[in-house]
Amino acid sequence: MFHVKHFDVVVIGGGHAGAEAAAASARMGARTALVSMRKDRIGVMSCNPAIGGLGKGHLVREVDALDGIMGLAADSAGIQFRLLNRRKGPAVQGPRTQADRKLYREAVQALLSRQSGLEIIEGEVVDLIEGPGGRVEGVELLDGTRLSAGAVVLTAGTFLNGIIHIGDQRKSGGREGDVASIRLGQRLGTLGLARGRLKTGTPPRLDGRTIEWDALETQPGDEEPVMLSFRNRQPLVRQVSCGITHTNERTHDIVRANLGRSAMYGGHIEGVGPRYCPSIEDKVVRFADKTGHQIFLEPEGLDDDTVYPNGISTSLPAEVQFDYVRSIKGLERVQILQPGYAIEYDFFDPSALRPTLESTLSGLFFAGQINGTTGYEEAAAQGLVAGANAAAAVLGRDPLLFSRTESYIGVMLDDLISRGVTEPYRMFTSRAEYRLHLRADNADQRLTPKGVASGLVGPERAQVYAEKMDRLSAGRAMLSSRTWGPQDLLAAGVAVSRDGARRNLLQVLAGADVTWDHICRLEPQAASIDADTRSQVWRDALYAQYLHRQDAEADTLLRNEHVLIPTDLEFPGLPGLSNELAAKLERRRPANLAEAERIEGMTPAALLLILAHCRKSVQSRAAAR
């Protein structure tokens, strides 16, 4: 008969959220099971073969700082590394790599199989086991196997009631080549959770052997590649270039003539798609005056001829895709291996989640695409949060919480919870108001200590980090121990104003055109500081002045976090609040003023109103005593 196996934490789904959740839970010391439909498809990249980017690279670094797997896997699969915004300041530089699909998948699978305390189970989850009081206490698989657990993490991605659209054809599916998760989707529909539909799309895959590479520009990787993980120094496999081509008027004409046949434009899809990753249909309609759009031709692997044309995702019928692709320079004779498609799937309103990603059903945590986000990195970061917190809950430890002032993870969680989503949520650096502090280069300084304290970071990484910090503090101490007046600095060739102010070398370093030679002229011992430490010290120094200002802002934020909003404050009754805002506030129930401030559509005047009421109820309570 059906046997029951017991775990501390069961993770449903082996995508980027699931893999990270399972690994994090196991690192915390919880006995963990990862259940996924197919073992060999764990770690599959559903869409583009790349990891990182602006905002996204920051998330990968944060996951890595907490000893996660995404950065390591990306580095082992990386075939073209580029640091985006290299010419801008370090705060807005995002590491990114083109990843060999197969290598990436294999790396994820290898890292998971090496993780102690983690068991991987192949199967489709079809039901949740509810205990007394509606607590989720396990899952049931299609074959009847029951897994009991202290907590369950759901990371079903685009699979819940997934429908694939190509032109006017539609079929059920979790992504191309995978079946959708229907029974679990239906079951979740009975739990009273607020649910919606979102959509996203992917371009056709091309046969690289039929592309005229010689006719195209190419883009190589960076000369000095920057890795995704703090633990790696250089690429681990052969590096390749991408091709660059453009759409043209003819491409646009073909698309325009067939708009009515697009799944998205023909009205076949009710879900909302992301504005940031527009399909070619969107681009042609919304930017009608542009005569060409850039396309990156990205190889999907070293021993794979498949090419991913980044920039032309679509849900047009296959024959139209064929026509418009062939209108593009270099692709005149190209063969399509797999047509592009759009997928529509269920997501759950993330504003109902707790900061630990536990849902309103206790014991059930949500992470990844099902929370309304899009992207591997967003999914991985949430997976880590949900997995670590599910484990913490079961093991009776303190929850692991993230704040906006400290991490992109905190920004994302807070955005999702306090604002909800109206379109697929993707990370951008501009979402982080403390962007100058939340850099990819200092993610370890921001988060690794917290990870060590909570048990999420293993001894090996903790050791590496401690050594790095020793070098860094020694370097900083050396550079800040003495000050120099303008005379001395000018004599050493440093351009400063003769303002009489004395500066230490960290301040000197922040100046324009200051090199390490200048520093060594003033402090010969500085020559002993290693290159990594130098650049880290420089990056920190660069923003010191602005960071100071941001600290003041962060203080205000903290202060506002201490202004608690009474739980019995009835927003809809508050005169002076628009009905819309009142309804939003009622739904989100911000716990404090800082949370209220971030609710979409919040105005200074409305905030003042809420503040006034908080104060009033504090006063009346004090008076009643």
Partner 1 sequence: MGDTIFALASARGKAGVAVFRISGPLAHQAVGRLCSVPEARRAVVRRLVWQGDVLDEALVLVFDAGASFTGEASAELQVHGSLAVVTAVARTLGEMPGLRMAEAGEFTRRALENGRLDLAQVEGLADLIEAETEAQRRQAMRVLSGAIGRRAQVWRQRLIRAGALIEATIDFADEDVPVDVTPEVLALIDGLTADLQREIAGTTAAERVRDGFEVAILGAPNIGKSTLLNALAGREAAITSEFAGTTRDVIEVRMDLAGLAVTILDTAGLRDTDDRVEQMGVARAMERAQAAELRVFLLTYPDEVLMLTPQSGDIVVLGKADLNPNTPGAISGLTGQGVESLVSRIAERLGTMAASAGAMTRERHRLAMLRAFEALESARSQIEKPGGAAELVAADLRQAMRALDMLVGRLDVENLLDEIFSSFCIGK
Chain residues that interact with partner 1, rule: CB under 8 A: 53-55, 84-85, 88-89, 91-92, 96, 290, 293-294, 428-430, 433, 435-436, 512, 546, 549-550, 553, 556, 560, 574-577, 597, 604-609, 611-613, 615-616, 620
Please state the closest distance from residue 321 (CB atom) to ligand FAD, in A: 14
Q: Are 182 and 39 in contact (CB under 8 A)?
A: no
What tokens appear for 534 in the block? 């130098």
Residue 428 binding result from partner 1, ligand FAD, none, given CB thresholds of 5 to 8 Å by partner type:
partner 1
The SS3 call for residue 392 is helix
Residue 369 binding result from partner 1, ligand FAD, none, given CB thresholds of 5 to 8 Å by partner type:
ligand FAD
Which residue type is seen at 23? A
Residue closer to partner 1 (CB basis): 167 or 278? 278
Please state the closest distance from residue 162 (CB atom) to ligand FAD, in A: 8
Show Cβ contacts of residue 261 under 8 Å, excluding neighbours closer than 6 positions.
167, 168, 316, 317, 320
Stretch 326-365: interaction string toward ligand FAD, x if CB under 6 A: -----------------x----------------------
Residue closer to partner 1 (CB basis): 132 or 575? 575
DSSP letter, residue 181: B
Which one, of 390, 348, 387, 389, lies nearest residue 370 by Cα?
A: 348
Q: How far is Cα 462 from Cα 448, in angstroms, rounded to an integer? A: 7
Question: Within 65-124, which residues bind ligand FAD (CB under 6 A)?
Answer: 124
* β-bridge partners, 160: 181
Which one, of 319, 345, 300, lies nearest residue 178 by Cα?
A: 345
Please state the closest distance from residue 246 (CB atom) to partner 1, in A: 9
Residue 350 binding result from partner 1, ligand FAD, none, given CB thresholds of 5 to 8 Å by partner type:
none
Question: Within 369-398, which residues bind ligand FAD (CB under 6 A)?
Answer: 369, 374-376, 379
Please state the closest distance from residue 122 (CB atom) to ligand FAD, in A: 9
Q: Are 533 and 445 in contact (CB under 8 A)?
A: no
Strand 483-484 with 503-504, pairing: antiparallel
Please give the C-alpha separations between residue 497 and each of 212, 358, 502, in angstroms, as whole numbers.
Answer: 57, 55, 11
Please state the closest distance from residue 421 (CB atom) to ligand FAD, in A: 13
Strand 503-504 with 163-166, pairing: unpaired
Residue 175 binding result from ligand FAD, partner 1, none, given CB thresholds of 5 to 8 Å by partner type:
ligand FAD
Please state the closest distance from residue 33 (CB atom) to partner 1, in A: 38
279 forms part of the interface with ligand FAD (CB under 6 A): no
Residue 89 binding result from partner 1, ligand FAD, none, given CB thresholds of 5 to 8 Å by partner type:
partner 1
Show Cβ contacts of residue 422 under 8 Å, excluding neighbours closer than 6 positions.
272
15 forms part of the interface with ligand FAD (CB under 6 A): yes
Residue 213 binding result from ligand FAD, partner 1, none, given CB thresholds of 5 to 8 Å by partner type:
none
Q: How far is Cα 241 from Cα 239, in angstroms, rounded to an integer? A: 7
Stretch 420-459: interaction string toward ligand FAD, x if CB under 6 A: ----------------------------------------
Please give the C-alpha separations between residue 364 and each of 25, 139, 382, 567, in angstroms, as whole numbers.
Answer: 14, 11, 14, 24
Q: How far is Cα 368 from Cα 374, in angstroms, rounded to an integer? A: 8
Binding residue (CB under 6 A) for ligand FAD from 7, 81, 104, 159 = 159
Neighbours of 348 (CB within 10 A): 21
157 forms part of the interface with ligand FAD (CB under 6 A): yes
Residue closer to partner 1 (CB basis): 214 or 580? 580
In the block, residue with structure tokens 């001894």 = 459
Q: How far is Cα 518 from Cα 512, in angstroms, rounded to an integer? A: 12
Please state the closest distance from residue 278 (CB atom) to partner 1, in A: 10
Residue 553 binding result from ligand FAD, partner 1, none, given CB thresholds of 5 to 8 Å by partner type:
partner 1
Q: How far is Cα 383 from Cα 364, in angstroms, rounded to an integer? A: 13
Strand 205-207 with 336-338, pairing: antiparallel
Binding residue (CB under 6 A) for ligand FAD from 27, 31, 32, 46 = 46
Which residue type is seen at 482? R
36 forms part of the interface with ligand FAD (CB under 6 A): yes
Angle at 390 between CA 431 and CA 561, to 5 degrees: 45
Strand 217-219 with 503-504, pairing: unpaired
Binding residue (CB under 6 A) for ligand FAD from 76, 93, 109, 202 = 202
Which one, of 593, 538, 523, 586, lies nearest residue 562 by Cα?
A: 593
Residue 209 binding result from partner 1, ligand FAD, none, given CB thresholds of 5 to 8 Å by partner type:
none
For residue 53, is it left (φ>0), alpha (ψ between -120 and 50) or beta?
A: left
Residue closer to partner 1 (CB basis): 152 or 557? 557
Which residue type is seen at 311? G
What tokens appear for 239 in the block? 């590096």
Residue 419 binding result from ligand FAD, partner 1, none, given CB thresholds of 5 to 8 Å by partner type:
none
Residue closer to ligand FAD (CB basis): 156 or 312? 156
Angle at 485 between CA 483 and CA 488, to 5 degrees: 105
Residue 114 binding result from ligand FAD, partner 1, none, given CB thresholds of 5 to 8 Å by partner type:
none
Residue closer to ligand FAD (CB basis): 11 or 478? 11
**H or E stretch covering 197:** strand 195-202
Rounded-to-10 torsion of CA 271, 275, 276, 280: 90
Which residue type is seen at 310? N
* β-bridge partners, 165: 170, 342
Binding residue (CB under 6 A) for ligand FAD from 25, 93, 200, 247 = 200
Residue 604 binding result from partner 1, ligand FAD, none, given CB thresholds of 5 to 8 Å by partner type:
partner 1
The stretch near ligand FAD (CB under 6 A) out of 36-44, 329-337, 349-357, 411-419 is 36-44
Residue closer to ligand FAD (CB basis): 76 or 158? 158
125 forms part of the interface with ligand FAD (CB under 6 A): yes
Residue closer to partner 1 (CB basis): 305 or 561? 561
Residue closer to partner 1 (CB basis): 176 or 433? 433
Residues that bind ligand FAD (CB under 6 A): 12-18, 35-37, 41, 46-47, 124-125, 155-159, 174-175, 181, 184, 200-202, 277, 343, 368-369, 374-376, 379
